[in-house]
């Protein structure tokens, strides 16, 4: 069967594609620009024949999205604006996040071959940012980010806007399922910070995806002090890719939302682990403070653990593997 993956040149999209190929799927990979496909092809020439590239410069072009889903059994909607350097909250983040999701669902609904749509949502769509660390709270997939559209339009805090966008996008998806009852089932995953080896084509160390960049700023010493760990939950990108693939044929995952978390962490622990594993690089890294992680909410992943055969990658391994790829990439660029 053919799996469609958008956001194919991104951190998570690339890992999902590599896992799909490993499992024997043929992949239809969607990007916005030719150069994104070219960079992927250059990095992974061995996969050339197993990937069909499709170009969707603008997801509001319903015809282009429908054409991209031709011949596809499974759809993975991974793409969404995940950066904090925008100026127009609505145009650059809120509208594309929600409308691109709806555009994919509408196109999938017109294609009777599509059996499952998987959406990479986020813990951002689950948590209440204004409640901060909220130590007495246990989050699960039953929780929703309560931010309103108007609050998000007016906010001058980019992470608040991004988190709200993920909530609106996922909410819109479930509303669409309720109202339209299309012929496919939906599965959404809500991961917190996604770390792990970046396998996407990397042009420069300044163009890393947001979550890996947060680690790189510590490993490279760009950050003078270890910042506050705003989101102290993580998942390894390889675990997340495994879950995306496993959900396609898992009947328990039909029309389900999952909070998926490998564990808790702090940026300080990340530096301690990286320094120990890479003593040659230790001098340049942001100095650790030795302070423990702030007390914070719990994360209930019992639903994911009940429905999937998953063994979470421990933080130490995630950090060591991430740092290794980052140092190697830096040396090659």
Q: Following DSSP, what letter does each residue of 41-63 receive, concatenated?
A: HHH-GGGGGGEEEEE-S-TT-HH
- Identify residues 200-219 at the interface with ligand NDP (CB under 6 A): 209, 211
| Residue (193 or 299) nearer to ligand NDP, CB | 193
Q: How far apart are CA 165 and CA 211, in angstroms?
A: 17
Q: Which residue in 200, 210, 274, 194 sits closest to 242, CA to CA?
A: 194
Q: How far is CA 151 from CA 89, 91, 158, 164, in A?
A: 11, 15, 12, 9
Among 5, 17, 79, 253, contact with ligand NDP (rule: CB under 6 A): 79
CB-based contacts of 323: which residues, under 8 Å, 6+ apart? 215, 219, 274, 277, 278, 281
Q: What is the pattern of x (binds ligand NDP, CB under 6 A) and - over residues 285-314?
A: ------------------------------
Of 115, 166, 203, 316, which is the active-site residue? 166
Residue choice 18, 21, 32, 329 for contact with ligand NDP (CB under 6 A): 32
How many positions of this chain bind ligand NDP (CB under 6 A)? Answer: 25
Pair 27, 52: CB distance under 8 Å: yes
Q: Which two tokens stand for residue 160?
A: 């608040």
Q: Is 100 in the site for ligand NDP (CB under 6 A)?
A: yes
Single residue of 76, 193, 215, 272 touching ligand NDP by CB under 6 A: 193
The secondary structure of residue 92, as a DSSP letter, is I
Residue 103 sits in the site that holds ligand NDP (CB under 6 A) = no
Q: Does 322 bind ligand NDP (CB under 6 A)?
A: no
**Helices and strands (H, E) in the chain, number of each type:** 11, 12
Would you call 298 a catalytic residue per the annotation?
A: no
Question: Which residues of the chain form contacts with ligand NDP (CB under 6 A)?
Answer: 7, 9-13, 32-33, 36, 59, 78-82, 96, 100, 120, 122, 166, 191, 193-194, 209, 211
Task: Report the catalytic residues.
Answer: 166
């Amino acid at each position: 069967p053919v799996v469609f993956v958008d956001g194919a040149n991104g951190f998570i999209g690339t890992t999902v594609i590599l896992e799909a190929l490993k499992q024997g799927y043929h992949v239809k990979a969607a990007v916005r620009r030719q150069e994104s496909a070219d960079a992927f092809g250059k990095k992974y020439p061995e996969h050339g024949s197993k990937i069909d590239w499709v170009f969707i410069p603008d997801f509001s072009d319903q015809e282009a999205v429908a054409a991209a889903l031709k011949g596809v059994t499974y759809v993975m909607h991974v793409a969404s604006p995940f950066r904090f350097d925008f100026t127009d909250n609505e145009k650059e983040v809120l509208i594309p996040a929600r409308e691109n999701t709806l555009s994919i669902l509408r196109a999938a609904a017109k294609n009777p071959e599509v059996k499952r749509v998987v959406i990479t949502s986020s813990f951002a769509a689950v948590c209440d940012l204004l409640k901060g660390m909220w130590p007495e709270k246990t989050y699960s997939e039953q929780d929703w980010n309560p931010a309103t559209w108007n609050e998000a339009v007016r906010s001058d805090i980019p992470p608040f806007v991004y988190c709200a966008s993920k909530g609106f996008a996922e909410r819109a998806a479930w509303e669409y399922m309720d109202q339209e009852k299309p012929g496919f089932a939906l599965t959404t995953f809500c991961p917190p910070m996604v770390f792990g080896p970046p396998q996407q084509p990397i042009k420069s160390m300044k163009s890393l995806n947001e979550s890996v960049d947060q680690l790189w700023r510590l490993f490279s010493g760009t950050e003078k002090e270890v910042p506050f760990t705003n989101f102290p939950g993580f998942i390894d990108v390889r675990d997340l890719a495994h879950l995306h693939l496993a959900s396609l044929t898992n009947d328990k995952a039909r029309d389900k939302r999952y909070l998926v978390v490998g564990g808790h962490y702090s940026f300080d622990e990340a530096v301690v682990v990286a320094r120990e594993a890479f003593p040659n690089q230790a001098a340049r890294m942001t100095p650790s403070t030795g302070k423990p992680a702030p007390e914070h909410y719990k994360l209930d992943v019992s639903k994911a653990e009940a429905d999937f055969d998953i063994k979470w990658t421990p933080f130490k391994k995630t950090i060591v593997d991430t740092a290794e790829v980052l140092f190697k990439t830096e040396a090659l660029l």
